[in-house]
Amino acid sequence: MLFKQQALLRQKLFVLGSLAIGSLLYLVARVGSLDRLQPLCPIDGRFGPRGQDEIPLRALQFKRGLLHEFRKGNATKEQIRLHNLVQQLPKAIIIGVRKGGTRALLEMLNLHPAVVKASQEIHFFDNDENYAKGIEWYRKKMPFSYPHQITIEKSPAYFITEEVPERIYKMNSSIKLLIIVREPTTRAISDYTQVLEGKERKNKTYYKFEKLAIDPNTCEVNTKYKAVRTSIYTKHLERWLKYFPIEQFHIVDGDRLITEPLPELQLVEKFLNLPPRISQYNLYFNATRGFYCLRFNIVFNKCLAGSKGRIHPEVDTSVITKLRRFFHPFNQKFYQITGRTFNWP
């Protein structure tokens, strides 16, 4: 009996040993042939060829610290070469309007992993001295980016400066142009408020809005006042249309961008032919600040500067009514040209 049990145990051990040796031999043979075999589903094949449609995730966006060094000018030429970074001319420009929300729009678009923004207003096309420095000077003012990304800059003075449309056309006749507008009277008061704050900071006196916006001799709207003139959107747009077709413009609702930013950003993504990447996760309402802030990832959030959302001074209601009546026919023409209607009074 004992002899039979020992024989059975030896038989089981032999079978197990044979299986182990066989598995080991198979693994050796398999490893030896791996370099000769092509994987059935290569990673590159799943995502298509590398190129313009390949958009990296913001969470992996090329080491934020390193990009920060590039922007400060501290990166070496070797680092730039190794990371395949370039300074590209913008493929889209936010051309205006002043106090329409250009900074907010630029920062929000920068949430998209395929967008890289110029941090400062370049004022290349509206400043004769800068423009005389040439297009290469302008390009070197752009941030470092990857070839598949698009660079965007914003200089709201572009919209109202006469020479700018032709100058931009000479650089790139197919460039995409973004205009962000607000209700014209509100925008004019916001414009005044910013200038007023600057005067007060320097302990200077300044006229009331009513005195600037209304001509005291005629009691009519003072079209020589820059804040009023800027809000006549259709007059400026008509000058741009001499060089660019309306299809190359996208009108952003600046009032809606404040209260409901995501739908406006999704429209811009579509206009720029970008895959949808900005989501509600990236935007959260800050009750203390009173407007939306940006969330790039789990650790990096950003709110606009404290100067945004200034409290406007009280303006005589009769002046507001007069301004709205003045802007009304211009607004109607603006709706007609752009194909976008706003509920402006």
Q: Give the residue ranges of the annotated binding site for 3'-phosphoadenylyl sulfate.
A: 99-103, 182, 190, 292, 308-312
What is the Cα–Cα distance from 263 to 280, expressed in whole angstroms?
A: 10
Among 4, 12, 91, 99, the active-site one is 99
As given in the structure block, the two tokens for residue 116 are 């890289």
Per the annotation, the verdict on 99 as an active-site residue is yes
What is the Cα–Cα distance from 218 to 323, expressed in whole angstroms?
A: 14
- DSSP assignment letter at 129: H
In angstroms, how far is the first alpha carbon of the chain from the final one?
A: 105
Peptide bond into 15 cis (omega under 30): no
Burial of residue 57, with CB atoms counted within 10 A of its CB: 0-12 exposed, 13-18 middle, 19 or more buried: exposed
Burial of residue 138, with CB atoms counted within 10 A of its CB: 0-12 exposed, 13-18 middle, 19 or more buried: buried
How many beta carbons lie within 10 A of that of residue 118, not counting itself? 19
As given in the structure block, the two tokens for residue 120 are 């400062």
As given in the structure block, the two tokens for residue 71 are 């922007």
- DSSP assignment letter at 96: E
**For 48, left (φ over 0), alpha (ψ -120 to 50), or beta?**
left
Token pair 């959107």: residue: 233
Please check whether residue 303 is in contact with residue 284, taking contact to mean a CB–CB distance below 8 angstroms. Answer: no
Token pair 């600046």: residue: 254
Active site residues: 99
